[in-house]
Amino acid sequence: MDKVTTVEQYLTTVPEQVKKLFNTTRATVQSALPDADEVISYGIPTYKVNGKIVVHIGAFKTHCSLYPGSKEVQNVFADELKEFKTSAGTIQFTNDNPMPKTLLKKIIKFRLEQNLGKEK
């Protein structure tokens, strides 16, 4: 398969079994970041505000992943992330165990505040 360079191309690669989960996640990210640029970075949809990455999201055969771009997210939200599979920089969620929209929005808000702090 050729390298994905646009979000539209990426959307055609999302596996059918996680398409609804991915689209719901994407819509939540877009609503929390209405002024973000949606681009492809590292081969997946990436959301940038003022040129700085806030989060990435990806779809795979059995799950979707959130890449918050900050290891600190997993420390700050450790209690709320206990029920999800995590690894360095990745939070996985499934159709049976989707990430709550409220948690996703809290992580995005945290990342925005981190990025603002880096600008000062």
State residue 119's pLDDT score. 54
pTM (whole model) above 0.75: yes
- pLDDT (tens digit per residue) in 69-114: 888 999 999 999 999 999 889 999 999 999 999 999 999 999 999 9
CA distance 78 to 26: 22
- pLDDT (tens digit per residue) in 34-69: 999 999 999 999 999 999 999 999 999 999 999 998
Task: Please determine, looking at this structure, whether the domain spanning 7-111 carries the CATH number 3.40.309.10.
Answer: no
What b/e string do you get for 66-92 counting C-beta neighbours within 10 Å, with b at 16 or more? bbbbbeebbeebeeebeebebeeeebb
Tokens in use for 8?
A: 């539209």
Q: How many CA atoms lie within 13 A of 87 on its CB side?
A: 2
| Residue 115 CB neighbour total at 10 angstroms | 18
* Domains of the chain, residue spans: 7-111
